Structure 1
Amino acid sequence: MSASLFTRRLAAAPAMRTSMSRAFSATAPRDVAKITLIGNLAASPEVRATSTGREMIEYAVASNHGPKDNRQTSWFRVSTFAEEGPRRDFITSLTKGTTVYVEGDAVMKTYTDGEGKTRTSLSIYQKQMEVIRRPPPPSE
């Protein structure tokens, strides 16, 4: 790189940094955390109605970590809105044990339980799902 080109880039760098509030991204900032999961479905996804009458699909993903002799499982509840049609039919046709890749928004919620204790829960709202492996069909 020539010295004059290097000098021009160096001189322009501070001006570029001050003109952008987030130099690493051109998108607007969001107060949401992203999460990526790879795990197995704990059961077939179910369609449930919300308090407003809109339907959503809910399912749980189990993800294992640690060595075989001390394996631990983390459970994640995932929700998604899918109108009637092929996408909803595909998700609800998945069976227990299906290995899935899920990308979504993670939101921590704080609530008071029936005993008056403060609890927190992690809610995951699916943005994308891909099937990695389906379990073998049951043998007869």
Structure 2
Amino acid sequence: MSFLTRRAIATAPRLSRAFSASARRDLAKITIVGNLAATPELRATSTGRDVIEYAVASNSGNKENRQTSWFKVAAFIEEGPRREFLTSLPKGATVYVEGDAVMRPYTDSEGKTKSSLSIYQKTIEVLRRPTTATE
């Protein structure tokens, strides 16, 4: 075997490479930066579990072609300071949200199959709070 052949074999890329030692999970992640459409609301699910729901508006494009995307987010946070913090955020606060995204199919009232994006908050960070008239 020639030197060049041995070198080509030695430097050939592997066909598979493990990037993680953890088990594979089919889950989509999403990151949103935008403004709260309203103060987050606490409500009970049909199973009695508490959920905090809120919407985030994110803009893209320049002034002439600006488009706003609205994202509904749900957070399952137990009673305590973290829940109080989230439910006290005012409308207009700029937030950074990371979460799990799940597409769910449903049938509308006309019998058409559509899909809905559900976002489940994992982390939230407040980037800016709106200024009040007294500040």
TM range (shorter): 0.7 to 0.9
- Over residues 9-57 of structure 1, what are the superposed CA-to-partner deviations in whole Å (9 max), with x where a residue is unaligned? x48x75xx66xxx612222111110000000000000001111000000
Q: Could you tell me which amino acid in structure 2 is paired with residue 79 of structure 1?
A: A
Which residue among 68, 75, 95 is the counterpart of 2:70? 75
Please say if 1:26 is aligned against 2:58.
no
1:115: Cα distance to partner?
2.2
Letter aligned with residue 54 of structure 2: Y
Q: 1:127 matched to which residue of 2?
A: 122
Q: Distance in 1 between matches of 2:75 and 2:100?
A: 10
CA deviations over 1:100-138 (Å, ceiling 9, x no partner)? 000000000100122212111100000000000000023
Measure the CA separation in 2 of the matches of 1:28 and 1:132: 33
Partner of 2:4: none
The gaps in structure 2 that reach 5 residues or longer are 1-6
**Residue ranges of structure 1 left out of the alignment (5+ in a row):** 1-6
Aligned residue number for residue 35 of structure 1: 30
Identity of aligned residues (%): 69
Alignment of 1:87 with 2:82, yes or no, is yes
Report how many aligned residue pairs link the two structures: 129
2:48 alignment partner, one of 47, 53, 61? 53
What TM-score do the two structures reach when normalised by structure 2?
A: 0.86
Q: Which amino acid aligns with 1:98?
A: A
d(CA) in 1 for partners of 2:129, 2:48? 32
In the alignment, the residues of structure 2 paired with residue 35 and residue 27 of structure 1 have an alpha-carbon distance, to the nearest angstrom, of 20
One-letter amino acid of the counterpart of residue 27, structure 1:
S
| Residue type of the alignment partner of 1:50 | T
